[in-house]
């Protein structure tokens, strides 16, 4: 017996049953919806995302880069214009730091800071003027004499070498190779011999630089804490404390270091000058000043560099004078190291000789001869700050006891 449902034909059943292709129709519709209008499918992500450029962002970034380049070029131009003035301000700061010990002593004895700065600066200028009045013309005349006699000195040295070692050198060819003829040396000597005041008049720029250093140096020294306060107002409170500590420590220790070196240089020049004048070294004053300056501001080898010229000036005519100079320099260096330096520098800091020598060369490479003189004070300022804010540790027993002794053999 058949039911109405059995009367349904097989074709109707096949039409009603979903086929495998029809089952995937919704997925096909979803895939079709995911296809972009261009008809291409997005590739699957491979670990990196594409970069899209926004025109407004590109324009803004381009303007920022161009502004940074323009600012950098402007900074270079400003440094080229005011770089020399900034260097003069650095010298003025060193001058103010060197005045700080005397100003501190006067203020501790009841003087106002402005008055103390005026007294210290006035006495310093007066001392320089007295030295110039007493030794200035003599110094200029002796320097001109050294320059004028340089060709004759070179000729004498070459003749001495030819006699001792049979070298066969021609003095005239050597002088021509280094462009040092007697006529040129005499002209340079006559231009130098015009006197101290003639040199100052012809060097107006040097005088202007000197006045700039003195004015700003006295202002920084007289202002003192007020000058630091005016700068610190633009800093945060925590930065203000660090700034005040760094400025005060740098001024005190750097000032004491500069003063100690100046005193030791004056003592060295004084004693060497007495020796040179006593044994009859020609042009003794420039040589004595050279020894005093190089001995203090060129570590390790400064004394020997300083006595090199007076030794060469006397070794060919009177060898015994050269021997006396060398012996005196060696003895004086020991006296200075063990007697003068501990007493003069007991309240100042010390700089490692190797680091100080590197500071001299670096300062000379950046700023020339003046840089060689101020390289060590600037390095001393950096070390003063580093010693204040750095942490120090105790040495372990193996290093503290017999640091330089070789290790003991280990028993097997």
pLDDT digits (tens, 9 = 90+) for 366-380: 877 777 777 877 887
Q: How wide is the angle at C-alpha 221 spanned by C-alphas 98 and 95, nearest 5°?
A: 35
Give me the helices (H) in 233-352, please. 237-279, 284-297, 302-315, 319-335, 341-344
Residue 48 is predicted with a pLDDT of 54
Is residue 255 within 8 A of residue 100, CB to CB? The reply is: yes
pLDDT of residue 11 exceeding 90, the answer is no
Is residue 372 within 8 A of residue 298, CB to CB? The reply is: yes
Cβ-based neighbours of 139, under 8 Å, separated by 6 or more = 196, 285, 286, 289
Q: How far apart are CA 138 and CA 120, in angstroms?
A: 27
More confident residue, 39 or 314: 314
Whole-structure pTM value: 0.58
Q: How far apart are CA 387 and CA 381, in angstroms?
A: 10
Q: Is the dihedral of CA 68, 71, 77, 80 positive or negative?
A: negative
How confident is residue 349, by pLDDT bands cut at 50, 70 and 90?
low
Residue 359 is predicted with a pLDDT of 82
Residue 300 is predicted with a pLDDT of 66
pLDDT in tens, 243-263: 887 777 777 777 777 788 888
Residue 396 is predicted with a pLDDT of 81
More confident residue, 174 or 396: 396
Residue 64 is predicted with a pLDDT of 92
Residue 236, token pair as written in the block:
């945060």
More confident residue, 344 or 268: 268
Q: How far apart are CA 43 and CA 9, in angstroms?
A: 47
Cβ-based neighbours of 231, under 8 Å, separated by 6 or more = 243
Residue 272 is predicted with a pLDDT of 92
Q: Return mean pLDDT, the chain.
A: 75
Cα 365 to chain centroid distance, Å, stands at 9
pLDDT in tens, 194-223: 544 444 455 577 788 888 999 998 888 888
Residue 327 is predicted with a pLDDT of 93
Name the burial class of residue 154, with classes exposed (0-12), middle (13-18) and buried (19+) by CB atoms within 10 angstroms of its CB: middle
pLDDT in tens, 75-107: 888 888 888 888 888 888 888 888 888 888 899
End-to-end Cα spacing for the chain: 113
Give me the helices (H) in 132-203, please. 137-148, 150-165, 171-177, 182-192, 196-202
pLDDT of residue 328 exceeding 90, the answer is yes
Q: How far apart are CA 304 and CA 217, in angstroms?
A: 33
Residue 65 is predicted with a pLDDT of 92
Name the burial class of residue 329, with classes exposed (0-12), middle (13-18) and buried (19+) by CB atoms within 10 angstroms of its CB: buried
pLDDT of residue 70 exceeding 90, the answer is yes
Residues 316-341 have a mean pLDDT of 87
pLDDT of residue 319 exceeding 80, the answer is yes
pLDDT of residue 270 exceeding 50, the answer is yes
Residues 226-238 have a mean pLDDT of 83
pLDDT of residue 6 exceeding 60, the answer is no
Backbone φ/ψ region at 283: left (φ over 0), alpha (ψ -120 to 50), beta: left
pLDDT of residue 19 exceeding 70, the answer is no
pLDDT of residue 274 exceeding 90, the answer is yes
The DSSP call for residue 46 is -
Residue 12 is predicted with a pLDDT of 47
How confident is residue 150, by pLDDT bands cut at 50, 70 and 90?
confident
More confident residue, 352 or 184: 352
How confident is residue 46, by pLDDT bands cut at 50, 70 and 90?
low
375, 249, 272: which is closest to 325 by C-alpha?
Answer: 272
Residue 186 is predicted with a pLDDT of 52
The DSSP call for residue 133 is I
Q: Where are the domains of the chain?
A: 85-223, 228-391
Residue 125, token pair as written in the block:
């200028």
Cβ-based neighbours of 324, under 8 Å, separated by 6 or more = 275, 279
Residue 27 is predicted with a pLDDT of 47
Residues 14-42 have a mean pLDDT of 48
More confident residue, 63 or 180: 63
Residue 178 is predicted with a pLDDT of 61
Q: How wide is the angle at C-alpha 135 spanned by C-alphas 131 and 140, nearest 5°?
A: 125
What is the rounded radius of gyration, in angstroms, for the C-alpha atoms of the chain?
40
pLDDT of residue 41 exceeding 50, the answer is no
296-322 exposure pattern, b = at least 16 Cβ within 10 A, e = fewer: bbbbeebbbebbbbbbebbbeeeeebb
Cβ-based neighbours of 192, under 8 Å, separated by 6 or more = 140, 143, 144, 147, 199
208, 216, 209: which is closest to 93 by C-alpha?
Answer: 216
Residues 127-140 have a mean pLDDT of 77
pLDDT of residue 267 exceeding 80, the answer is yes
Residue 278 is predicted with a pLDDT of 92
- Residue 91 CB: number of other CB atoms within 10 A? 20
pLDDT of residue 21 exceeding 80, the answer is no
How confident is residue 187, by pLDDT bands cut at 50, 70 and 90?
low
Please tell me the total number of residues recorded for the chain in this structure: 412
């Amino acid at each position: 017996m058949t039911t109405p449902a059995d009367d349904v034909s097989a074709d109707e059943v096949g039409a009603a049953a979903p086929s495998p292709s029809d089952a995937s129709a919704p997925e096909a519709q979803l895939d079709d919806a995911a296809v972009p209008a261009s008809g291409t499918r997005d590739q699957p992500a491979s670990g990196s995302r594409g970069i899209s450029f926004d025109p407004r962002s590109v324009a803004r970034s381009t303007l920022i880069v161009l502004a940074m380049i323009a600012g950098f070029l402007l900074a270079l131009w400003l440094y080229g214009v005011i770089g020399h003035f900034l260097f003069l301000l650095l010298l003025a700061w060193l001058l103010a730091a060197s005045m700080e010990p005397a100003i501190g002593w006067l203020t501790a004895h009841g003087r106002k800071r402005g008055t103390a700065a005026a007294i210290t600066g006035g006495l310093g200028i007066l001392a320089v003027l007295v030295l110039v009045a007493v030794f200035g013309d003599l110094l200029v005349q002796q320097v001109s004499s050294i320059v004028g006699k340089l060709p004759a000195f070179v000729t004498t040295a070459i003749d001495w070498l030819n006699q001792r070692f049979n070298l066969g050198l021609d003095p005239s060819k050597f002088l021509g190779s280094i462009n040092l003829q007697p006529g040129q040396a005499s002209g340079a000597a006559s231009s130098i011999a015009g006197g101290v005041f003639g040199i100052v008049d012809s060097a107006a720029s040097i005088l202007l630089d000197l006045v700039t250093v003195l004015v700003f140096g006295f202002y920084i020294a007289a202002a003192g804490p007020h000058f630091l306060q005016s700068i610190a107002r633009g800093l945060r409170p925590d930065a203000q404390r660090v700034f005040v500590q760094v400025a005060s420590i740098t001024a005190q220790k750097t000032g004491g270091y500069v003063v100690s070196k100046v005193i030791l240089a004056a003592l060295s020049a004084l004693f060497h000058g007495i020796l040179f004048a006593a044994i009859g070294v020609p042009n003794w004053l420039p040589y004595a000043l050279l020894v005093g300056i190089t001995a203090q501001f060129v570590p390790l080898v400064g004394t020997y560099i300083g006595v090199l010229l007076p030794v060469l000036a006397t070794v060919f005519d009177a060898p015994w004078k050269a021997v006396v100079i060398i012996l005196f320099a060696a003895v004086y260096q020991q006296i200075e190291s063990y007697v003068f330096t501990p007493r003069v520098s007991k309240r100042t800091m010390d700089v490692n000789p190797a680091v100080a020598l590197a500071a001299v060369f670096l300062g000379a490479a950046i700023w020339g001869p003046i840089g060689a003189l101020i390289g060590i004070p600037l390095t001393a300022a950096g070390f003063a700050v580093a010693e204040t804010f750095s942490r120090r540790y105790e040495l372990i027993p193996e290093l503290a006891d017999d640091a330089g002794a070789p290790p003991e053999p280990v028993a097997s």
